[in-house]
């Protein structure tokens, strides 16, 4: 199993509260719960006090076995007092840090009770108080974190090491470290995965984060960010994401002739997510048309949206009927010139024809998230063309000859 304890606080209102720490924690929770990471994430309840949080943290740590991975994450203010790093919570009183804040030693104590083979603490925190007068500044501590957190069987990923000003970046709506960790897992995954093995190691992540910081500082010299780095002993390779090489695709022959592939997404309401291995073919769509012959006796439903084609003068001419063209009418080639409404009606027809042993199942057009996950291994849409260029250039279809689009 993979467990994560994620928490974030903008800090008390009287200490120049941050704007995006809670939002960072919410985004990190979604990221870690996503199909690429597949962590079971626990976060403090809204009204939990520091003692409740420490208890929940230890409870989760003690659930881990030697086969598990455990990540702890905090975004918010940090303050150093008498050599101890304290993480500020919503109602923290700086005059009563012992009872109103969360000492970093609480994470280390939880790690000592944790049997997981891989442990990681991510600190995207700041040094609050009189030294930081500008709103929204994240800072490291007055002395190296390494002098406080001793290496054991775990690693610490920090936003900075010494007294450095790590800003919340308004354009990112959050901290530099958190935003780029999420980016590395989601839309930039194939750029970060230098080995091309379909998994993201901590070494790859940190190297990419440092390069991102370097490029950011060169572009914005007046708004520099510190270089993230890790501290601790690494026993074996720390894999931040799931190991895709261990996943074996499971295919299910479907009653409309499709071959459905189960996606590695955690089931919801005991239902798995599947997508057709190939586009719908002419033969499949023809059966749908024939079953609706009473409603559409002349077959106009089949390719109701005929395509116009470009003439030599660059103007669109037509209509073009693909079923009359040898390049498009093969039984096993993907059906084309189907309107959005036609596609919806086909999906509804498949649902209505579902055999009883598969009921209740729902067949519908894939959402943008499902499509992006199936095509790009991420449920988060991206406008970065490099993400698409790193994918396979093949068109996955049943036909032995290529379609001419």
Task: Give me the pLDDT at residue 386, please.
Answer: 57
pLDDT for 162 beyond 70: no
Residues in the chain: 405
Tell me: the pLDDT tens digits for 116-146?
A: 888 888 888 754 322 223 334 344 334 444 5
Measured on CA atoms in the order 54, 236, 29, 212, is the torsion positive or negative?
positive
**Poorest-confidence range of 77-81, 124-128, 155-159, 296-300?**
296-300
Span between the terminal Cα atoms of the chain, in Å: 45
pLDDT for 43 beyond 70: yes
pLDDT band, residue 205 (cuts 50/70/90): very high
SS3 271: strand
Round the average pLDDT of the chain to a whole number and report it. 76
pLDDT for 159 beyond 80: no
By percentage, how much of the chain surpasses pLDDT 90?
18
CATH label, 2-244, candidates 3.40.50.1460, 1.10.3720.10, 3.20.20.60, 2.60.120.620:
3.40.50.1460
* Range 376-384 contact pairs with CB under 8 angstroms and sequence separation of 24 or more: 377/36, 377/189, 377/190, 377/198, 377/244, 378/36, 378/185, 378/186, 378/187, 378/189, 379/34, 379/35, 379/265, 380/186, 380/187, 381/187, 382/186, 382/187, 384/187, 384/188
């Amino acid at each position: 199993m993979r467990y994560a304890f994620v928490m974030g606080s903008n800090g008390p209102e009287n200490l120049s509260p941050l704007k995006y720490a809670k939002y960072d924690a919410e985004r990190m929770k979604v990221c870690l719960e996503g199909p690429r990471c597949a962590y079971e994430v626990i976060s403090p309840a809204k009204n939990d006090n520091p003692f409740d949080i420490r208890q929940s943290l230890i409870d989760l740590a003690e659930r881990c076995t030697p086969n598990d991975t455990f990540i702890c994450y905090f975004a918010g203010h940090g303050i150093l007092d008498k050599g101890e790093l304290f993480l500020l919570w919503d109602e923290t009183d700086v005059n009563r840090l012992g009872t109103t804040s969360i000492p970093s030693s609480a994470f280390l104590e939880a790690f000592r009770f944790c049997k997981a083979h891989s442990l990681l603490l991510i600190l995207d925190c700041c040094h609050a108080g009189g030294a930081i007068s500008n709103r929204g500044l994240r800072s490291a501590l007055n002395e190296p974190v390494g002098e406080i957190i001793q290496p054991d069987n775990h690693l610490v990923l920090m936003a900075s090491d010494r007294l450095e000003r790590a800003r919340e970046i308004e354009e990112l709506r959050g901290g530099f470290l958190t935003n780029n960790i999420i980016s590395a897992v989601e839309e930039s995954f194939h750029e970060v995965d230098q080995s091309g093995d379909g998994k993201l190691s901590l070494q790859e992540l940190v190297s990419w984060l440092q390069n991102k910081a370097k490029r950011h500082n060169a572009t914005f010299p007046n708004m520099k960010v510190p270089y993230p780095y890790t501290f601790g002993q690494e026993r074996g390779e720390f894999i931040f994401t799931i190991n895709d090489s261990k996943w074996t695709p499971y295919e299910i022959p479907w009653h409309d002739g499709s071959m459905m592939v189960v996606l590695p997404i955690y089931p919801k309401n005991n239902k798995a997510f599947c997508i057709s291995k190939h586009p719908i073919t002419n033969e499949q769509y023809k059966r749908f048309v024939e079953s609706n012959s009473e409603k559409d006796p002349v077959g106009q439903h089949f390719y109701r949206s005929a395509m116009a084609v470009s003439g030599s003068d660059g103007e669109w001419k037509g209509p073009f009927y693909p079923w009359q063209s040898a390049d498009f009418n093969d039984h096993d080639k993907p059906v084309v010139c189907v309107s959005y409404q036609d596609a919806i009606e086909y999906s509804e027809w498949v649902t209505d024809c579902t055999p009883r042993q598969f009921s209740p199942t729902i067949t519908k057009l894939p959402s943008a998230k499902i499509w992006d996950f199936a095509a790009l291994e991420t449920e988060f849409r991206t406008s970065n063309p490099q993400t698409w260029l790193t994918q396979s250039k093949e068109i996955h279809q049943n036909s032995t000859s290529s379609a001419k689009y």
